[in-house]
Amino acid sequence: MSNRVRVLIGVLVAAAAVGVAVSAAATQQTVTAAWSVVDHCTSGWCAGNNYTGTWTIVQKKGSHTLSGHDNAGNKLTGTITGARATWTLKGASYSFVVHATFAANGKSFAGTFTDSKHASGTTHGTRPGGGGTRTVTLP
C-alpha cells in the first residue's frame, strides 16, 4: 500500500470520527419549560415531608445561564453544562440550592437540594406535555 493511500485512509478515518462527534454535539437539551416538581426532604426541619410546585426555568439559546422562578415567587438563577445543572431559588429570607441532572430525553430531571435552614433532600421534575431535544446549528 502506498503512502498516499495510507494518508488518505487516515484522513478519512479522522473525518469520520469528527463527523460522529459533531453529530453528537449538534443535538442538545433545552431545559426551558414550566417543570412540575416534587421535593422530598430527608433531613433537617422538614424531614419526611414532600413539597410540590412548578419551577419555570429559562435557558437562553446558546447559553449556559439559567433564569426563572418558582410558584412561590422565588427567583431562579443558575448554570447548565451538558445535562448537569446547578441553580438557586432565592426569596427575601430563604434560599434553596439544587444540583440536578436532566434525562437524555429532556423530559425529566433528578437531583438533590439543600436550603438556607440546613435541610436537604431529593428533587424530581417532569416536563408537562413531554418535550425533549432540539437541534442547534453549529458555527
- Both 79 and 67 in one domain: the answer is yes
CATH at 113? 2.40.128.120
- Give 113's Cβ-side CA count (13 Å radius): 30
- Both 66 and 18 in one domain: the answer is no
In a domain? residue 19: yes
pLDDT recorded at residue 138: 37
In a domain? residue 42: yes
CB 89 within 8 A of CB 76: yes
Range of the domain at 103: 31-129
* Burial class of 23 by CB neighbour count within 10 A (0 to 12, 13 to 18, 19+): exposed
In a domain? residue 139: no
Q: What is the mean pLDDT of the chain?
A: 82
- Both 35 and 6 in one domain: the answer is no
In a domain? residue 17: yes
Query: pTM, whole model, 2 decimals?
Result: 0.73
In a domain? residue 137: no
Predicted confidence (pLDDT) per residue in 84-100, tens digit: 999 999 999 999 999 99
Predicted confidence (pLDDT) per residue in 104-114, tens digit: 988 999 999 99
